Chain A
C-alpha cells in the first residue's frame, strides 16, 4: 500500500469543486444564516459548521442542479439547530457591523442599506419554517416543487406556509416603514 499512488485526479476534481463552491457561495451562506436568525457574533462559527457538513455530504452534490438551494438546506438545518438553544432564540437580524436603529443613517439611504435592514428586520418576524420558504422561493426563485423536495414537505404545505409567510413579511415591513416615517 505504501507504494500505491494516491488517486489524485479524482480527488483534485472533487477538492476543486468544493473549493469553487466555497469561494463562490461563502457570502451567500453567511447572509442566509444571518437571515435565518443567527446572531452576528456566531455567524463565522455557524458558517464554518455549514461548510463542514457540506463537505461531509459532498457525495450528494449534484452539479446539474443550482448549488444555492442545496446550500440553503444546510444553512437552514444548521440555523434550526442553533435556534433550538434557548439562548439563541432572541432574533438578532440586521447589519452585523452596526447596531440596529429604527431610523437609518443618511449613508444607509444612499447605499440602499436601509432596504436591506428593513427586509432583515421584517424577516425576523416571520416564523423560521415559513421564512425558509420565502427565502428559497421568493428571493432565490427556487420552484415550489424543488422547495418542497428540499424541505421534505408536501407541495401544498409549502404553498400554505409561503402564503402565511408573505403575509407576515409584508405586515412587518409595513409596520417598520411606518415606524420609520416612510410612506
Chain B
C-alpha cells in the first residue's frame, strides 16, 4: 500500500473513531452497584484510614504505592474509597460509623458473576470502636438477578449467619483500631464455632490481616497460601495479595 492510500485510510479510520471517542455514560445505578461491589471486595469492612484526601496531590505516587503496600493494610487504603463512594452515592454527609457485612456474593459459593444485593458500605471518617454491636447497613433495594436472590435471602435468614456476623464484627472493629490480638481471637473463635461457616472466607482474610498486624508474617503468608487454595476465585484475594506484594 502506498503512502497516499495509507493517509486516506488513516483519515477514514479516525473519522470513524474520533466522533465516538467519549464513552457513553453508564447508568447511575450500574455505577453505584459497581462502587458497592468494589468497596466490598477490596477492604475488609470499615476500618482505619478515613475519608477524604481525594484531592490531595500525590507528588510521587509511583513507588509510594509499593511502599504503602508493605505497610498499610488493604482495608486501610480503601477506607477512603468506601467513604467517598458512599458520599457520592448517597449525596449526603458521611455517617459517623457503621459496619459492612460481606454478603454471600463474596463467598466461594458465589462466583464473581453473581450480583447479589449488596449492603451500602460506609467507612467511618475517624476510627470508631463501638462498645456494642454496631448498627448494620442494610442492603439497598437494588434488584438482583433471579438466580442469586433466593440463595442470598436464604442465607441471610439463618440464625447462624447472624451469630457469625456478630463474631466477625468484633474482629473487624479490632482490626479497625489496629488490635491484631483481639481480632485474631475473634476469628479463631469464629473458626471453632463455624469451621465451615458462610463467612469463612471473610474470617480467613481477617485472620491474615490480624497476623500481619501482629508481625507474624510467616504465619500470615502460610495462611494466605491456604486462602488461595481454598478460595481460588475470591474477590478479596487481590487486596490481600496487594499488601503481600504478590501478583494477582
- The answer to whether B65 and A60 touch across the interface, beta carbons within 8 angstroms, is yes
Q: Looking at the complex, which one of B38, B178, B181 makes contact with A22 (CB distance below 8 Å)?
A: B38
B17 within 8 A of A: yes
| Residues 33-76 of chain A, each 1 if its beta carbon lies under 8 Å from chain B, else 0 | 00000000010110111011101111111111000000000000
B80 touches A15 (CB 8 A): yes
Q: Given A1-B213, A8-B48, A16-B55, do A115 and B20 touch, yes or no (CB 8 Å)?
A: yes
Does B161 touch A at the CB level, under 8 Å?
Answer: no
Contact of B62 among A9, A31, A60, A167 (CB under 8 A): A60
Q: Which residues of B contact A11 (CB under 8 A)?
A: 48-49, 68, 72, 76-77, 79-80
Instruction: Looking at the assembled complex, report how far the CB atom of B65 sits from the nearest CB atom of chain A, in whole angstroms.
Output: 3
CB–CB A10/B34 < 8 A: no
A-contacting residues, B88-134, CB 8 Å: 88, 112-113, 115, 127
* Closest Cβ neighbor of A97 among chain B residues: B27
Tell which of B17, B50, B52, B238 touches A55, judged by Cβ atoms closer than 8 Å. B238
Out of A23, A42, A59, name the residue touching B88 (CB < 8 Å).
A23
Contact with A along B64-95 (1 / 0, CB 8 A): 11101101110011111100110010000000
Contact B26–A30 (Cβ < 8 Å): yes
Interface residues on A, range: 35 or more
- The distance in angstroms between the C-alpha atoms of A28 and B25, with both chains bound, is 9
- Check A8 against B177 for contact (C-beta < 8 Å): no
- Specify which of A19, A55, A169 is in contact with B85 (CB 8 Å cutoff): A19
User: B180 in the interface, Cβ–Cβ < 8 Å?
Assistant: yes
By a CB distance below 8 angstroms, the chain B residues around A59 are 62-66, 68-69
Which residue in chain A gives the minimum CB-CB distance to B30? A44
Indicate whether A6 sits within 8 Å of B48 (C-beta atoms), given known contacts A19-B81, A163-B1. Answer: yes
Question: Is there contact, CB below 8 Å, between B20 and A12?
Answer: no
Partner of A51, one of B38, B58, B68, B112: B38
User: Is the beta-carbon distance between A15 and B34 smaller than 8 angstroms?
Assistant: no
Q: Does any Cβ of B come within 8 Å of A103's Cβ?
A: no
- Chain B: minimal CB distance from A140 (Å): 7
Residues of B near A23 (CB, < 8 A) are: 84, 88
Within 8 A of B (CB), among A137-183: 138-140, 163, 165-167, 169-170, 173
If the complex has contacts A10-B68, A55-B42, are A140 and B21 also in contact, measured as CB distance less than 8 A?
yes
The answer to whether B78 and A16 have CB atoms under 8 Å apart is no
**Cβ-defined contact, A166 with B58, below 8 A:** no
Interface of A with B (CB < 8 Å)? 1-20, 22-23, 26-28, 30-32, 42, 44-45, 47-49, 51-53, 55-64, 112, 115-116, 118-119, 122, 134-135, 138-140, 163, 165-167, 169-170, 173
Q: Can you report 24 A-B residue pairs in the complex whose CB atoms are below 8 A from each other?
A: A2-B213, A6-B48, A8-B76, A9-B53, A14-B65, A14-B68, A15-B49, A16-B81, A18-B77, A20-B54, A20-B55, A44-B33, A52-B248, A55-B78, A55-B238, A56-B248, A59-B62, A60-B62, A64-B62, A122-B16, A134-B13, A138-B18, A166-B9, A170-B9
Which residues of B come within 8 Å of A, CB atoms?
1, 6, 9-10, 12-14, 16-21, 23-26, 30-31, 33-35, 37-38, 41-42, 48-56, 58, 61-66, 68-69, 71-73, 76-81, 84-85, 88, 112-113, 115, 127, 177-181, 213-215, 235, 238-239, 241-242, 247-248
Other A-B pairs, 6, CB within 8 Å; known A58-B65, A59-B69: A1-B178, A52-B38, A56-B241, A60-B62, A138-B14, A167-B9
